[in-house]
Structure 1
């Protein structure tokens, strides 16, 4: 469980949430998305409070989660997965293919037949056509080869820059996450152990290592 977290983010900012397994990172994202009810505290968008435990309402307000299991319709095609989620006025399919060109020739392929990297691209594309104000991405690199992660994580920076959405990224690839993020928080046992500008934390590897090693985990 994450606690005592006070964060205010402006448009187009990428916040990396780092920390060892069990630190509360995914719990935090699921709480922001309304999937888990809040035990305490408030979440607001444009200064207006959001009700706890209301995922549909959160989504309508523009908070969109890409879960760690990607939650794709595996029997539906790439095109169908995107079209099902697309809101009126959202980016067209061609725009999504510009951001994820590897999917362009896979539009008629069932999501369940895609590679892990392609599935992650589809999960993010499906989130983008929901026109997020706040995009939550849980473990984008989970189960992916490092070379795929190297290509995918920079897309996070592009999304924030082009859509002006706030992106909150939970990620185990610490160094890559800090490269694309503006700000970063390191959670340990649900509490904030470190926080600050991502570029400053990237230069302070020893402090990050100390936070992880205090739990017995490495990164």
Structure 2
């Protein structure tokens, strides 16, 4: 597991300072603060409609922030400019995967790869099952293979901050059990900050360092993943909105 501490005087590798996210002028997530070091996996948990996907798309610049700042390596990202966020190292794996379904696995990876990023063959070391499917159209892959491709496509962009929204969407639990440990490996081997939105709570907590529970736009619970996993009653209460939000 990553050392989550940030050395005194050093800028965190990723920060949210008072971020307000929403649609139009309506806030969905309010005054969110995060400070994460390289190699940290943060699990973002919470019931449907809590604002988790809105937060992810806002960090990636696809939605305008209604307030606050997002910083990568101490540098603030411009608001609502996804190309600038991507250039700074923020890469989103969306919940719909957004693959080019008529292109092959290799072609999807080739189009996404940044100069200086890991080559396709090196990336396939994390996805041996996908290596055999490089010449297959993305639309012909199984759901699990498509999710592998979506994550692999993010990795060839050399992310500093990897946002994964609902990796388990539409997948059988047995497939999720195989996929989620890859998140831990990515953080450990690349040093990327990984922010993972996930409904399979216990599986997410097994691979995460830290976790937050978002309820009605506020952080209802925050702590180490191990602490939260050991207290399922407190987790359930947070999901049901039966705890006071964490003070801002």
TM-score (norm 1): 0.96
- Distance (whole Å) between structure 2 residues aligned to residue 40 and residue 19 of structure 1: 22
2:43 is the counterpart of 1:33: no
- Distance (whole Å) between structure 1 residues aligned to residue 119 and residue 97 of structure 2: 21
Mind listing any 5+ residue stretches in structure 1 that lack a counterpart? Answer: none
2:206 is the counterpart of 1:179: yes
- State the secondary structure of the residue aligned to 1:8: strand
Mind listing any 5+ residue stretches in structure 2 that lack a counterpart? Answer: 1-27, 243-248
Contact 1:4 1:192 in 2 (8 A): no
* Deviations 1:59-116, CA, capped at 9 Å, x for gaps: 0110000000000000000000000001112111211211001111111110001000
Contact 1:74 1:112 in 2 (8 A): yes
- Distance (whole Å) between structure 1 residues aligned to residue 226 and residue 31 of structure 2: 24
User: Aligned match of 1:68 in 91, 95, 101?
Assistant: 95
User: What is aligned with 2:233?
Assistant: 206
- CA RMSD, aligned part only? 0.9
State the 1:3 CA deviation.
1.1
RCO (CA 8 Å, sep 6+): is it higher in 1 or 2?
A: 1
Q: How many residues align?
A: 215
Q: Higher helix share goes to which structure?
A: 1
Moved over 6 A (4+): none
State the 1:126 CA deviation.
0.3
- State the secondary structure of the residue aligned to 2:169: coil
User: Aligned match of 2:219 in 161, 182, 192?
Assistant: 192
State the 1:11 CA deviation.
0.3
